[in-house]
Amino acid sequence: MKGKKPIIYPFYHLSVNKNKGSFSLVAIDDQNIRQNWQIRYLYLQKELETVQSKLQKFLSVEKPQYTIWLESTFPKETAKLKDIELKINDLKQFIFEVELDSLLHNRSVAISYHFLLQKKNKKLPNIVSHVACADSLPNNEKTDEIPDNNWKRNSHDSKIKAAFRTIARLLHPDANNSVSPEKMERWYAAQMAYKAKDLELLESLCYLEEKQPEALPIAIIQKRIVVLDKTLQKKKKELEGCLGHPAWGFSLCQIDRQYIRKIKIWINEKIKEKNKEFNRLNDKMRGWKLEANRLLLKNKTKKKRSKKKLSKKK
């Protein structure tokens, strides 16, 4: 054994001797285990890199070119579509506020709708004190306290900032003299992920820069594989959604009459879909309005009856 270094195996297996009732440690070589994890890690890196580059090309090159062409070719249709989308976004925002208000104040959605609508129109609500009565809730009942989750948000934000700093050191053009186009794409993707506060994507982009996982422990490789796998699945779904978009492959397609007809059909169908969604949201709000009016009328009749009873007693 002189001149040879002893081989240290970090993994051991317990084998039980049934006759003697004793345990013995059997050394297991971890080279195969490490190799399998490394292969998986590198495979996920490559897959994520290809998917991310395709997405980045679509979002930064093809989609902007397509939108410019679409607005110049179909100005009326695009303006109409934008208008409907803005209305839908406003309605969704208002519906979200109503549902949140009903959750926080522990009252029905219809009453919250009425209250917020009056608040939006800058009218003083006359029914604020009777809201709980109309909704069959006691006035003195306190709403459940919502726990403060600021510490969670702060920790999440700090992780995002740390991940973005590491990416900036690796990919920022000012920090690196020679930056390849692939790295520039990753840098733009990192900026978008930072704006969207996507921690998994930022971490995955950090891992893409580490091509040699030999020095890493197996536990860290396993953790990184989980993060990479999650990000890859998410990005694949996003890519599948982009594949159905007419802007996909716009830089390579030939713009002829058939293509223009196809896009016109698509945009008209999109307008129909958005109109349906807008009508559905409007119907939802109409239902809330009717329910609020019913509850308020009920409350008014209760008040009148109570007044009559008081007058009779006097």
User: Which residues are bridge partners to 27 per DSSP?
Assistant: 12
| Beta-strand runs (E) in the chain | 11-17, 22-28
Residue 274 has pLDDT above 90, yes or no: yes
Q: pLDDT tens digits for 31-42?
A: 777 788 888 888
Q: pLDDT tens digits for 109-143?
A: 888 888 888 887 754 334 333 333 333 333 333 43
In this prediction the pTM is: 0.57
- Taking the C-alpha atoms of residue 149 and residue 14, their distance in angstroms, rounded to an integer, is 45
Q: How large is the average pLDDT for residues 69-83?
A: 91
- Taking the C-alpha atoms of residue 253 and residue 244, their distance in angstroms, rounded to an integer, is 15
Residue 29 has pLDDT above 70, yes or no: no
Higher-confidence position of 76 and 107: 76
Q: pLDDT tens digits for 156-172?
A: 778 888 888 888 887 77
- Taking the C-alpha atoms of residue 175 and residue 145, their distance in angstroms, rounded to an integer, is 48
- Taking the C-alpha atoms of residue 314 and residue 307, their distance in angstroms, rounded to an integer, is 11
Residues 6+ apart with CB under 8 A from 301: none
**Residue closest to 100 by CA, chosen among 129, 122, 92:** 92
